[in-house]
Chains A and B, each alone.
Chain A
């Protein structure tokens, strides 16, 4: 009997291949976008953790020089001989590869490719030419380096590990060390750091260069995209499954009347769905791989440019990833089918086969109430919520509430249209659209979510870009940037350039209990002209120049809970009031700016090794030449403003490529959902269209009206998606970003973008309606006539 039931159930899909395709495609597309995005995230995170594991970034406290210069080997030995259990690291770029030199004898055990425990490799590692450990593709770029390459797949991409001595030789940095890793366990007797090396500063393990933390915002965006796409996919699946169940009611009725037990029927339907979900999930995961592989190079380039994070450009198949894709497909199907199975279980034995019942059943009055409740919750969280979790809850409530509000809102609009219509055809058009709304509402909700996500995310990315471009203009006001090799060259440069030079003076300290960099700024027209403040006292630059205050960046301002006028100690017994707050985007660490004379008085040991140079752009090349010929400044030590800006902006163009691609993909999924809904509805609507046709409306006209209906519905949906998308963007910029990263991005509006997005949504709707309309215009009259002969 089981087989008989199963074949009767499966017969439905044979008769309705389109529905089967809807179900599979919806699920596959949703899974594809979700797992594609996940694949990118997983790959990037694997790269970060490989980097963290090989370098101990984040897990060990570190010692660096206050001014960022190199630590001498004598200082390292002095620290060891004073009882400091520290291990040296030297780091540099060799042929574009990040080359890291470690000392395997003193390094913490989990760092580096060899340790004293595996002495087999120790000699080969650091004697003779030495060994360089890296991935195969990285090694290929180091072929000329003159050390033996060893393939080590676990090392972070574009990173190579070697002995510190080998690294110093390859990087031409004899006796230099960049940082010292501090072992978590230290001996009992240890002299204070300040006594041995006063120019060094220790940072605790969680401070500073944790790439994973820095890039969180980027991955957050991607994940949000993936989740939204999946939600869109779920709407499709929910619709397809609901429809299939409803259409099979006669079959179920007949089977039960023939004696098939309800339990077995439900079990078989569940198994059938699980099989379909697995198939769709597999397709989705495969598609997701294609999506990820296509996008990953751009994502990798973005991450490298924005955060200096090296991410592998090639995709590897982590089991966790494709398993999670399949699990999402199964879970999503279960979620979408749960309601249908439940109502099937409660259906009276001989309930009539009424497809209309399904359609009308979706006009739940509770939906509007739920929507209002969710929107109210979202608003309440905005006012009273705190923390990142609250931010996400708010986003979720906003999106689901917004989606649920769509059908009642559309119904209201359509009723308004109907009330205003006078001509009979117009009246019929509005009434018929209204009547179709329940059947289309799921597809329209999917479209709404896709539009909302697009508006929200593109607003955020564009706002970030504008802010960042502005920020670059502020910060990169000097035409040239020069790095001095040592103190002597620094003095020579500042004497040579005299008035035109802006020294970059900084030191690392703890301010208000938080790690921070303190900068000394020269009182110069460059700053006055270019810098903008989030908040500041009047005549802030004059106040600063008189040494009567300090500027802080937004991160420090928010984290330390400061206010304008609050007094903070910069050094023991040296307090300054906060006179201005400036935006400092993308930087995780706090900053303080003092005027140069005050800085030099407080930190006399700090010398500037970097300089900004103001020069007439026409004389820029001449100055470069002069610096090179007269002071021996290497060409690589001079960077011009234009090339930094160009590089930074090119990074953003990459981000845009990714965003645009995801925009188009989500919209396609939503358009597809709409097309399938229209197609399934079309078959059921024949009895309603036939009388209109019989009254004299041509099939062409009817088809045109179908197209128009799709456009009207899409336009109304788009109109509703705009405010919802802006709310989403606001939540991301002003709530989630602040909670996650400590700075708030100003929100800009991009009306042209929204128009373009709205246009895209309309195009998607028209494309979706095209085929059903074309089919309608080609419906043989005999089929329409048939309605009158054999109506149900």
Chain B
């Protein structure tokens, strides 16, 4: 999950700085910067890093109901700092934002929560692991055994996550370079969760099982000025292998990908190796977005068709974007998630 939500998260504080509330004394330089060669420490690094400007705990799941109906589930907790300190009380400069969604072939349910740190309304603790905002929580005795819940006005879910594989560190031991300009973040994933639980929809409760992918990332650096949006793919093939890839749309497109073997081994691919081509477009919330793609990674023999389960998976949140489950066919079969941002109205 390279750059996804990076702009999303940076939106709050960079807007603020651009508008000149440097009166806070919180220029970008005040925040910590990722340093290559840093050894990530677990479970400590599962927790929050308030000295960095942005951070997220981003989980997507592809689930199946008893009748074979596919479902998608999203649970995200964003942290966005106005200043690099942490503390107690209302004046804590750590903002939290939660997004939750459930996607069915026919409907898409979304909810959003906002909170500030320092008062107990939202936060993350490393061990025993607990991430929460309001009543939404992802928590458990350790990072491999979690319980996840969220609810909105018209949906809710409550599922158990059990990891069946190792953490995957992206880039150089988790130091992931973002662009030619050298921007970077700390980035690791847990793409091997098995999921079981219940999704509550207006029609009633549905027992579900499936797989989930959790991304952890923190950084302080914004994207380049010309980078306006991206198309991001997390694909789980029937073979047990997985592929993360994205296209960063800008003056020139920039692509990147990580191949994750069924055993958890990771191989990063440079710009250009990963190719995604739109096949069909769909208009939702006034934006026309590609909801069917041809995705190729020739070095691994990948040439697949990626199609949205529900083309209307629009996240109508403070910062709107498209995020939804996909089905994979072609050289490989499987399921995954697609995120698209920055499409103009």
Binding site for B on A (CB under 8 A): 73-74, 77, 80-83, 85, 103, 105-106, 116-117, 119-124, 126-128, 130, 163-166, 168, 185-190
Contact = CB atoms under 8 A, between A and B. Distances in A.
Contact of A81 (B13, B91, B111, B134): B134
Nearest to B90: A165
B135 A80 contact: yes
Given A77-B119, A80-B135, A127-B91, A188 B12 contact: no
A122 B12 CA distance: 9
Contacts of B65: none
Nearest to B112: A116
B116 A105 contact: yes
Interface in B99-137: 111, 114-116, 119-121, 132, 134-135
Contact of B91 (A122, A126, A188): A126
B181 interface: no
Contacts of A187: 111, 135, 151-153, 156
A229 to B, nearest CB: 52
Interface of B: 11-13, 15-16, 19, 21, 23-24, 26, 82-83, 89-91, 93, 95, 111, 114-116, 119-121, 132, 134-135, 149, 151-156, 200, 318
Contact of B153 (A77, A124, A165, A188): A188
Contact of A127 (B82, B115, B200): B82
Contacts of A166: 90-91
Contacts of B116: 103, 105, 126
9 contacts: A106-B114, A119-B16, A122-B95, A123-B16, A123-B21, A123-B26, A187-B156, A188-B151, A189-B156
A132 to B, nearest CB: 15
B91 A73 contact: no
A85 B115 CA distance: 11
B62 to A, nearest CB: 22
Contact of A189 (B15, B26, B151): B151
B121 A127 contact: no
B11 A124 contact: no
Contacts of B135: 80-83, 187, 189-190
What are the 5 closest A-B residue pairs judged by CB atoms, nearest first? A165-B90, A83-B135, A187-B151, A105-B114, A123-B82
A683 to B, nearest CB: 74
A103 B132 CA distance: 19
A128 B21 CA distance: 11
B95 A105 contact: yes
Contacts of A185: 153
Contacts of B90: 103, 126, 163-166, 168
Given A83-B134, A124-B16, A187-B156, 18 more contacts: A81-B121, A81-B134, A103-B116, A105-B95, A105-B115, A116-B114, A120-B19, A123-B16, A123-B21, A123-B83, A127-B83, A128-B24, A130-B91, A166-B90, A187-B152, A188-B154, A189-B149, A190-B135
A120 B19 CA distance: 6
B16 A120 contact: yes
A188 B95 CA distance: 25
A119 B24 contact: no
Contacts of A122: 12, 16, 82, 95
A130 B82 CA distance: 14
B153 A120 contact: no
Contacts of A116: 114, 318
Contact of A120 (B15, B121, B200): B15
A77 B120 contact: yes
B265 to A, nearest CB: 40
Contacts of A73: 119
A106 B151 contact: no
A164 B115 CA distance: 13
A185 B151 CA distance: 12
B153 A119 contact: no
Which of A121, A165, A187 has the largest number of chain B CB atoms within 10 A?
A: A187
Contacts of B95: 105, 122
Nearest to B154: A188
A175 to B, nearest CB: 9
Nearest to A101: B90
B115 A106 contact: yes
A105 B12 CA distance: 12
A80 B134 contact: yes
A117 B93 CA distance: 17
B318 A117 contact: yes
A186 B134 CA distance: 12
Given A73-B119, A81-B132, A127 B318 contact: no
A186 B95 CA distance: 22
A127 B24 contact: yes
A123 B84 CA distance: 13
Contacts of B155: 188
A82 B151 CA distance: 11
A189 B152 CA distance: 8
A188 B13 CA distance: 32
B23 to A, nearest CB: 7
Which of B111, B120, B149 has the largest number of chain A CB atoms within 10 A?
A: B120
B165 to A, nearest CB: 31
A123 B12 CA distance: 10
A123 B132 contact: no
Contacts of B24: 123-124, 127-128
Contact of A188 (B11, B83, B114, B156): B156
Contacts of A117: 318
Contacts of A77: 119-121
A119 B11 contact: yes
B318 A83 contact: no
A82 B116 CA distance: 17
A724 B152 CA distance: 62
A188 B100 CA distance: 13
Which of A77, A127, A190 has the largest number of chain B CB atoms within 10 A?
A: A127
Contact of A119 (B12, B111, B121, B156): B12
A391 B21 CA distance: 58
Contacts of B15: 119-120
Nearest to B19: A120
Contacts of B152: 187-188
B21 A124 contact: yes
Contacts of B114: 105-106, 116
Contacts of B115: 80, 105-106
Nearest to B114: A105
A11 B83 CA distance: 80
Contacts of A168: 90
Nearest to B202: A188
A162 B318 CA distance: 22
B150 to A, nearest CB: 8
Contacts of A85: 134
Contacts of B111: 187
Nearest to B155: A188
A127 to B, nearest CB: 6
A127 B93 contact: yes
A20 to B, nearest CB: 60
A165 B93 contact: no
A36 to B, nearest CB: 44
A127 B95 CA distance: 12
B277 to A, nearest CB: 35
A165 B119 CA distance: 10
Contacts of B11: 119
B342 to A, nearest CB: 18
B123 to A, nearest CB: 11
A73 B119 CA distance: 8
A386 to B, nearest CB: 40
A166 B19 CA distance: 22
Nearest to A78: B120
A92 to B, nearest CB: 16
Nearest to B23: A124
Nearest to A130: B91
A5 B24 CA distance: 76
A186 B151 CA distance: 9
A85 B111 CA distance: 12
A73 B15 CA distance: 30
